[in-house]
Chain A
């Protein structure tokens, strides 16, 4: 059974960089697309971007200038960096796997942007 777990600071200061790690267990990340999605409190889902084996990426155009995704197949992990954060970036961040739809999700991690 594939499992995903997000980790990283729960509090980030404005203008700094948000950094999250997604650790995948129960399967290799050396195939499939892997995505980051976020959800502000009480609001809907927003796709941040996706990464594929080999490092090819696609980002949400509204976040593209601030987002970097990467992966480390030796650690079975992939990563999210979001720079120059503001309060509007406060949300629950999910990492997930794409197969036929987004079939495996992490439990999500709340990241609050505040000084």
Chain B
């Protein structure tokens, strides 16, 4: 049971927009701690996709965007491409668990 809750799977057709939610609580996202998002392609290490809730590292397409409100955060992907098929994870910090970093359980994105 992950501290941050993500849907196990989402899907969309090429060109469509999908969103992935990340729900936390008052001890993590709701406490104002940043949310970061990672993309993990099959058989590879995760890659930073969004940092500090809504910032893209250099090289990440602007089709990817992040937002945060209250105790939740979201990752939006527009103009879906086949290469976006991957697992996506949110990550934050939890003040209740002795300063633990926490991950969401991950969401598998399928491009139909």
Contacts and interface: CB of A to CB of B under 8 A. Distances in A.
B86 to A, nearest CB: 13
A30 interface: no
Given A35-B101, A47-B102, A102 B2 contact: no
A61 interface: yes
B93 to A, nearest CB: 10
Nearest to A64: B98
A61 B89 contact: no
B24 interface: no
B51 A44 contact: no
A76 interface: no
A46 B44 CA distance: 16
- The range of chain B's interface size is 20 to 34
Given A100-B51, A101-B48, A105-B47, A44 B2 contact: yes
A7 to B, nearest CB: 15
A14 interface: no
Nearest to A35: B101
A108 B100 CA distance: 21
Chain A CB count within 10 A is highest, among B34, B36, B46, for: B46
Contact of A58 (B44, B100, B105): B100
A105 B106 contact: no
Interface of B: 2, 34, 36, 38, 44-48, 50-52, 55, 57, 89, 91, 97-106
